[in-house]
């Protein structure tokens, strides 16, 4: 079975520290990671190399739940997060790998996301759409400087 790879790139007006933390904090993840029309729940998160996580997304309309989890492979504070992802649904086989790179630029952070090994049954366009929606929510979370 072949798999898909997607690549996303954004400039976010925030610090690398805030974005890095948003990827590794359970409460933050439930706020921004589920794409439009979904809610999210973190069941477990141990943000260290070799640590694991378990999450689920629930379709708000149908109530259908998709659960997934993985392992943190590489964590370089404020620069890099690399982790695996595997769906619990046997119809979505294989292990995906996601690499998140952060680079400070004069107006914020250059964020690059590469997700590899996406099951063939999932159209790449659906992944792009979901990530685009999620990254808008990420920016809304990390950009405001609230005293």
CB 69 within 8 A of CB 54: yes
Q: What integer pLDDT is reported at residue 12 of this predicted model?
A: 98
The 80-87 sheet, strands edge to edge: 3-12, 108-119, 96-105, 80-87, 65-76, 52-59, 38-45
Per-residue tens of pLDDT for the chain, all 147 residues: 446 999 999 999 999 999 999 999 999 999 999 999 999 999 999 999 999 999 999 999 999 999 999 999 999 999 999 999 999 999 889 999 999 999 999 999 999 999 999 998 999 999 999 999 999 999 999 999 888
In this prediction the pTM is 0.93
**Residue 118 forms beta bridges with which residues?**
4
Kindly state the DSSP code that residue 27 receives in the 8-state scheme: H
Distance between CA atoms of residues 85 and 145, nearest Å: 32
Domain parsing of the chain, residue ranges: 3-142
Q: What integer pLDDT is reported at residue 61 of this predicted model?
A: 95
The answer to whether domain 3-142 has CATH 3.30.530.20 is: yes
Q: Which two tokens stand for residue 21?
A: 């933390």
**Residue 110 forms beta bridges with which residues?**
11, 103
């Amino acid at each position: 079975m072949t798999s898909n790879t997607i690549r996303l790139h954004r400039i976010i007006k925030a610090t690398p520290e805030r974005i890095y933390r948003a990827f590794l904090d359970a409460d933050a993840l439930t706020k921004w990671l589920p794409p439009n029309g979904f809610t999210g729940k973190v069941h477990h998160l141990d943000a260290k190399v070799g640590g694991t996580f378990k999450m689920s997304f629930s379709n708000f309309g149908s109530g259908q739940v998709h659960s997934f989890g993985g392992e943190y492979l590489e964590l370089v504070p404020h620069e890099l997060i690399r982790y695996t992802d595997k769906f619990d649904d046997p119809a979505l086989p294989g292990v995906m790998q996601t690499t998140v790179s952060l680079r400070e630029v004069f107006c914020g952070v250059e964020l690059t996301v590469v997700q590899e090994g996406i099951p063939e049954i999932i159209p790449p366009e659906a992944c792009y759409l979901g990530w685009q929606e999620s990254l808008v929510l990420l920016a809304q979370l990390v950009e405001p400087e609230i005293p």
